[in-house]
Amino acid sequence: MAFKPEKPSIHGETPDSLGARLAEAGHPRYRAGQVLAWLYPKRAESAEVMTNLPSDLRSWLADNYDFNSAEVLGKKTASDVTQKLLQRLRDGSLIETVIIRAPMEGVGQDKSRRTICISTQVGCAYGCKFCASGLEGWKRDLSVGEIVSQLVQVCRIEDQTDPTRAAEGLASFDNIVVMGMGEPLANYDNLLAALKTVNAAWGFGFGARRVTISTSGVVPKILKLAEEDLGFRLAISLHGATNEVREQIMPVNRKYPLEQLIPAAKIFARTHGRMLTLEFILIEDINDSLDQARKLAAIARDLHAHVNLIPYNTVEGLPWVRPSITRQDRFVKEVRALGVTATLRREKGHDIDAACGQLRLQKEKTLGADPSPPAAA
């Protein structure tokens, strides 16, 4: 299902595509570079502020492009300073973007390291049993502009408390993780185009090594990504160290079992020379046994991968339970004892419904069937 907005997002353009549209409208192609310089280093929210452009060009940009393809409906900030943004798109669809802060000693919260978790779809078709994103199924893919716009919104918000990076024309975040709502590799073309904008010198100029794409295990797209000369990192949402356990909570495993997934991951790692990350959500009595820990460690050693353990974030209406601290510690100790580097990620946003899709579901219930999309600007 595709959504065609009244005006396309300006953040979906490249120098070539914008230059071509400008030329068709009778404006010089070189103006494209000036426009893009306003969009990313200067975070322009409208054409009106682009004061080095002729007034007729500013009017044309305002008439033909959307500078704000989403509005922030609300923010929730957790006790651990994780912040979730709920954004409404032009068709009324809701998506989530999460800011995960890692405070650094001596600099304060406002100057902490920031990892941004972005969405790529409205809903999700993959139906992972522990995830809120897919409870109402897949609605549509996000456009290139809608993906990039999430990062622009984050910059505008973060610049209010820490304007230093904006003054230097730098992105107001330190890492990007593509593991919000949706399966990123199911929206492959738009995702890659958006990340090229993030990486490009005319965009955010953001290093590819600091971008991680997380996938539930779509094997053909992992192999396709391995052929790309881009340098992004890859994380596999494993969540089960055997087919039996994985199929219980991840339907994608029926199509792409571990016997296909692990070789594909090896090819990606070998081609790009980057350490993989294995994401493993811990659910009590499902995958938190010592046997699963040992099998997970064996897979990680085979892939030379880092393991990221994530205690389950409770989702209303789902039967799963977060393991006790004792069980979490026992699991991570077993993995580490078997020679694998592993991080146990304690709560991030548990008190603000930071599991993927939670806040969106709650808001949709309160808004009802007609979420009244914002008017195009």
Question: Which entry of 13, 96, 158, 183 is annotated as an active-site residue?
Answer: 96
The tokens of 370 are what? 């007609």
pLDDT on residue 345: 87
User: How far is it, in rounded angstroms, from Cα 198 to Cα 225?
Assistant: 17
pLDDT on residue 369: 42
The strand pair at 94-102 and 113-117 is best described as: antiparallel
Name residue, tokens 């008439």. 63
pLDDT on residue 135: 84
Compute the C-alpha angle 137/142/148, nearest 5°.
140
The strand pair at 83-89 and 70-77 is best described as: antiparallel
Helix spans in the chain (H)? 15-24, 31-39, 55-64, 144-161, 164-167, 188-199, 219-226, 243-249, 252-255, 258-272, 290-303, 325-337, 358-367
pLDDT on residue 352: 46
124 carries an active-site annotation? no
Q: Ramachandran region of residue 26, left (φ > 0), alpha (ψ -120 to 50) or beta?
A: left
Contacts of residue 298, defined as CB under 8 A and 6 or more positions apart, other chains included, come to: 241, 338
Q: Write out pLDDT tens, residues 108-124.
A: 455 578 999 999 999 99
Domain ranges of the chain: 10-64, 70-367
User: How far is it, in rounded angstroms, from Cα 276 to Cα 236?
Assistant: 8
Low-confidence ranges of the chain (pLDDT < 50): 107-108, 352, 354, 369-372, 377
Please give the torsion angle defined by the CA atoms of residues 329, 335, 336 and 342, in that order, rounded to the nearest 10 degrees.
-80
Q: How many CA atoms lie within 13 A of 368 on its CB side?
A: 2
User: How far is it, in rounded angstroms, from Cα 108 to Cα 257?
Assistant: 45
Question: Which entry of 117, 124, 155, 356 is annotated as an active-site residue?
Answer: 356
Q: Which class in CATH covers the domain with range 10-64?
A: mainly alpha
CATH of 70-367, one of 3.40.50.300, 3.20.20.70, 1.10.3720.10, 3.30.930.10: 3.20.20.70
pLDDT on residue 107: 46
CB 91 within 8 A of CB 5: yes
* Closest listed residue to residue 356, CA positions, set 150, 131, 138: 131
CB 204 within 8 A of CB 198: yes
96 carries an active-site annotation? yes
Q: Write out pLDDT tens, residues 128-149.
A: 999 988 888 999 999 999 999 9
CB 242 within 8 A of CB 295: yes
3-class state of residue 313 by DSSP? coil
Q: Write out pLDDT tens, residues 180-210.
A: 899 999 999 999 999 999 999 999 999 999 9
pLDDT on residue 346: 72
pLDDT on residue 12: 98
Q: Do domains 10-64 and 70-367 have the same CATH topology?
A: no
Cα–Cα distances (Å) from 27 to 8, 12, 53, 60, in that order, read 18, 19, 11, 10
The tokens of 206 are what? 């953001």
